[in-house]
Copies of this chain bind each other. A is one copy, B any other.
């Protein structure tokens, strides 16, 4: 592979990550090409399709999420692990408008996402169980409340633009305090809110 080609490939990926982070997943490929300082055709030489570009651009971040969960599971204090993974993932959402907010909702069928997802769901279920066992997480907490929180965070991130990180942190703090066991009337049973049924991009007509 020629040196300039490899170089451009990197530039494109960097530009894509930046653009997606700031403006969300909807930025046109044309824009990304321009920001990368190359022509659209060049971008297409490296990534045959829009989706391919997106997949590559987010692969790294996705790995970070998985890692965060693994670390949480490795933490001897399940509550601390629980908080930490939530805080990390939400911070990622807040920092990168494209990630989760758009990726998980608009590309549920991208990549080999499915196998990763069930693994993630199992890990979360395990973490929740342990945190309840130590009495730190309220008994009426439901694993789908994580989805609830992610969606809520998503809304805050989309809406607050400039101050996303701070706003997101504040929301997460409020919610984690509410998740903490001990001080609150119990909740009604939750709505079934599975990750895979989130926001199928509104079908037209």
Q: Are B161 and A148 in contact (CB under 8 A)?
A: no
A residues engaging B (CB < 8 A)?
23-24, 26, 31, 105, 145, 148, 151-163, 166-167, 169-171, 173-175, 177-180, 182-185, 187-188, 190-193, 197-200, 202, 205
Q: How far is the CA of A62 from the CA of B26 in the complex (A)?
A: 30
Cβ-defined partner of A155 (8 Å) among B151, B173, B178: B151
User: Which residues of the partner chain B approach A187 to less than 8 Å between Cβ atoms?
Assistant: 170, 173-174
- CB-based contact B152/A202 at 8 Å: no
Q: How far is the CB of A149 from chain B (nearest CB, A)?
A: 8
B145–A151 CB distance below 8 A: no
CB distance from A170 to the nearest CB of B (A): 6
Q: Are A156 and B161 in contact (CB under 8 A)?
A: no
Report B-chain residues with C-beta under 8 Å of the C-beta of A183: 177, 182-183
CB distance from A159 to the nearest CB of B (A): 4
- Point out the residues of chain B lying under 8 angstroms from A178, CB to CB: 174-175, 177-178
Do A148 and B158 have beta carbons less than 8 Å apart?
A: no
Give, as a whole number of angstroms, the nearest-CB distance from A124 to chain B. Answer: 17
Contacts of A105 in B (CB 8 A): 159
Q: A159 — which chain B residues lie within 8 A by C-beta?
A: 105, 151, 154-155, 198-199
- Among the listed B31, B148, B170, which residue makes an inter-chain contact with A190, where contact means beta carbons less than 8 Å apart? B170
Establish whether residues A170 and B191, one from each chain, have CB atoms under 8 Å apart when the complex forms: yes
Contact A148 to B154, CB < 8 A, known contacts A178-B174, A192-B163 = no
Instruction: Report which of B156, B170, B193, B202 forms a contact with A163, defined as CB distance below 8 A.
Output: B193
Starting from the known contacts A160-B191, A174-B175, 5 additional A-B residue pairs (CB-CB under 8 Å) come to: A31-B205, A148-B170, A155-B159, A167-B193, A177-B178
